[in-house]
Structure 1
Amino acid sequence: MDALYTAVATANSAGREGRAATSDGRLDLVLAPPRELGGTGEGTNPEQLFAAGYASCFASAVSLVGRQQKVNTSDISITAEVSIGKDDTSFALSVVLRAELPEELDNATGRSLVEQAHQLCPYSKATRGNIPVELVVE
């Protein structure tokens, strides 16, 4: 791969309790485990960051596929639900990607766009075969 851009972020302290910041200073967050995992919930957590990144990247992939097929995707909304839980050995993630379609876009076309975007999205490529990702078209 020829890198076109590299994001650099550093997390300190205990990772889930501390700070995370990007090298350019645009992102600087307090980290805290969610209450559901015994934390204070008074900061963001890696699952939220992953969900935001995946939703954004996937929306971009849907937009690209839409442009290629001359389908207006400007009103499609992508929500990523990232869950963490225990598996046989330690912890694992799963993702549900929800695509909310505008009324004028039929379900079959929307499903096709979402499935094609899932083949193109770098986050989808990185997770494929590693964690379950469910596509939901609403």
Structure 2
Amino acid sequence: MIMHDFKVQTNWENGRSSIGDFKADHIDGKISIPSELGGPGDASNPDELLVAAASSCYIISLAATLERARFTNVKITLNSVGTASLSESGKFKMETITHYPTIFTDDTEKLEKRIDKLIEIADNNCMVSNAIRGNVEIIVKPTIDSK
């Protein structure tokens, strides 16, 4: 088994109106509470970073799955939506992440026959999907279009 540590350093000062920062090997940025939740909203927030992580992981996994299935001349665009809820008790929770991939290919008929299985394989091979599965529902609604 291969193991790998992904290291992130995060810094924050003061209360909920502040802006923090994070740094990893290949990404860094600012973080804040979204304005819709009473924060300054001047930076990325953990919720959209979670959706971005799920989206980027899924598109890479889908590309690899399509390649292994011999769909090599493809282009993928992906829109992802994270839907969160705030319960009466004040608990904030990501309920669903829905991926809307559009796959452009010269072989639409062949892909349409196999798409259901391929999107399932891609989801099962995505580390972020596997990490949140059982707590956040992952939905994939693909569209196939000619290149």
TM range (shorter): 0.7 to 0.9
Q: How does 1:90-105 map to 2 (within 5 A)?
A: 90-93=91-94, 94-102=96-104, 104=106, 105=108
Gap change, CA 1:74 and 1:28, over 3 Å in 2: same
Could you list the runs of 5+ residues in structure 2 that have no partner in the other structure?
Answer: none
* RMSD of aligned residue pairs (Cα, Å): 2.5
The offset of 1:40, in angstroms, is: 2.9
1:21-68 deviation line (CA, Å, top 9, x unaligned)? 2244x5332222223222332111111211221111111111111121
Q: Which has the higher contact order (CA 8 A, sep 6+)?
A: 2
Residue number in structure 1 paired with 2:85: 85
Tell me the SS of whatever aligns to 1:71: coil
Question: Equivalents in 1 of 2:49, 2:76: separation in Å?
Answer: 21
Judge conservation of contact 1:16–1:46 (CA < 8 Å) in 2.
no
Change (3 A) 1:18 1:57: same
Question: Which has the larger Rg?
Answer: 2
Deviation at 1:81, TM superposition (A): 1.4
SS at match of 2:136: coil
Does the C-alpha gap of structure 1 residues 103 and 70 become closer, same or farther in structure 2, counting only changes over 3 Å?
closer
Residues 39 and 16 (structure 1), Cα distance of their counterparts in 2 relative to 1, 3 Å cut: closer
- Of 126, 129, 137, which aligns to 1:132? 137
Structure with more strand by fraction:
2
Decide whether the 8 Å contact of 2:74 with 2:105 is kept in 1.
no
Equivalent pairs counted in the alignment come to: 137
CA deviations over 1:87-136 (Å, ceiling 9, x no partner): 47512102111111215434343333211101111111111111111111
For structure 1, the 5+ residue unaligned runs are: none
Partners of 2:122 and 2:98 lie apart in 1 by 14
CA contact (8 A) 1:10 1:21 kept: yes
What is the rounded CA distance, in whole Å, between the counterparts of 1:73 and 1:36 in structure 2?
41
TM-score, structure 1 normalization: 0.80
AA in 1 matched with 2:114: T
Matched with 1:32 is 32
The residue aligned with 1:63 is 63
